[in-house]
Chains A and B, each alone.
Chain A
C-alpha cells in the first residue's frame, strides 16, 4: 500500500514527471553547393552544431527522410542531400535560436 501512495504522490507533482519546456526553433534551408552536402561541408556543419547545447536535427524534405542528428557526420551523409534539396533544421535547447542562426549560413 505504501508503494501505491508513493507513486500517486509523484503523479500529482508535474515537476517530476514532465520534462522542462525548452526553447525550440526550426527553419527550412536549400542546399546551394553544386556538389551537394558532401563530407567536407558536412564536417563544417557538425563542427558548428557541436558548439551548441541544443539538440539539433535535420531532415531532407526533398527525399522525405526522417530527421537525423546534425551532430553526427554519418547521419548527415545519410540525408544524401544534393544541390537544390530542402532540409528542415530543428533545434531545441537553451541556445536553439543561436544554433539555427549559425547553421543557416552554411547551406
Chain B
C-alpha cells in the first residue's frame, strides 16, 4: 500500500488536510505531513528537509505520492526528491492534483490498495471535477 505526504506552506493547513485524508483512509494508509518552516508551526513556508523527513517516515516500496499546495511547495518537494537516494526517488511521485480534493481521493484509493500511478491518476482527475451539482 502506498504512502502519502501532504505539503503545505501552513502547518495548520497540512494538519487539517491530513485529518481529512486520514478519515478517508480509515487508518489504513501511512500519511505524512510537512507544513510550515518551523516546529512550532508559526512560520509559513516550505522546507525541503522537512518534506524529506516526512517521505522517510511513510516510506514503503509501493511508493509515496506527494500532494502540495502550490508555488514553492512544488519546488521544495522537487528538492526533497533530489535529496533521496535514487532507488527511493524512483518510487516517489509529485501529484498535480489540487491539495484538498487530491488528498481525499488519494487517501481513499490508496486504502483500496491501488498502485501509485493509479492513485495519482484519480487524484489528478479532481482538477476537472466541478463541485456543484448543476455541472454534473
Binding site for B on A (CB under 8 A): 39-40, 43, 46-47, 50, 60, 63, 65-66, 68, 72-75, 77-80
Contact A68 B108 (CB under 8 A): no
- Counting chain B residues whose Cβ lies within 8 A of the other chain, the interface size class is 20 to 34
Q: SS class of chain B's interface: helix, strand, loop or mixed? A: helix
Knowing A39-B104, A43-B26 are in contact, say whether A72-B122 is a contact too (CB < 8 A).
yes
Counted as pairs of residues, one from A and one from B, with CB atoms less than 8 Å apart, the total is: 48
The list of the 7 closest CB pairs from A to B, nearest first, reads: A80-B133, A78-B136, A74-B129, A63-B133, A43-B24, A65-B136, A50-B112
> Beyond A50-B112, A72-B122, A74-B105, is A66–B136 a contact (Cβ under 8 Å)?
yes
- Provide the bound-state CA to CA distance between A77 and B24, in Å: 13
CB-CB < 8 A to B122: which residues of A? 72
* Complex contact A75–B112 (CB within 8 A): no
- Whether B24 pairs with A75 at a CB distance below 8 angstroms is no
Question: What 1/0 mask marks residues of chain B from 99 to 129 whose CB sits below 8 Å from any chain A CB?
Answer: 0010011001001100000000010011001
- Are A73 and B26 in contact, with the CB atoms below 8 A? no
Whether B108 lies near A46 (C-beta < 8 A) is yes
B135 to chain A, nearest CB (A): 7
B→A interface (CB under 8 Å): 20, 23-24, 26, 101, 104-105, 108, 111-112, 122, 125-126, 129-133, 135-136
Which residue in B108, B125, B130, B133 is a CB contact (below 8 Å) of A47?
B108
A40 to B22, CA, bound (A): 11
Q: Which residue of A lies closest to B113 (CB)?
A: A50
Chain B residues with Cβ below 8 Å from A72 are 105, 122, 125, 129
Known: A39-B20, A66-B136. A78 touches B131 (CB 8 A): yes
Chain A contacts for B23, CB-based, 8 A? 39-40, 43
Which of A60, A65, A73, A79 counts the most chain B CB atoms within 10 A? A73
* Shortest Cβ distance from residue A79 to the other chain B in the assembled complex, whole angstroms: 6
Chain B residues with CB under 8 Å of A65's CB are: 133, 136
Complex-state Cα separation, A72 to B123, whole angstroms? 10
CA of A73 to CA of B2, assembled, Å? 19
Chain A residue numbers with a CB within 8 Å of B26 are 43
Residues of B within 8 A of A68 (CB): 136
CA distance A65 to B131 in the complex (A): 13
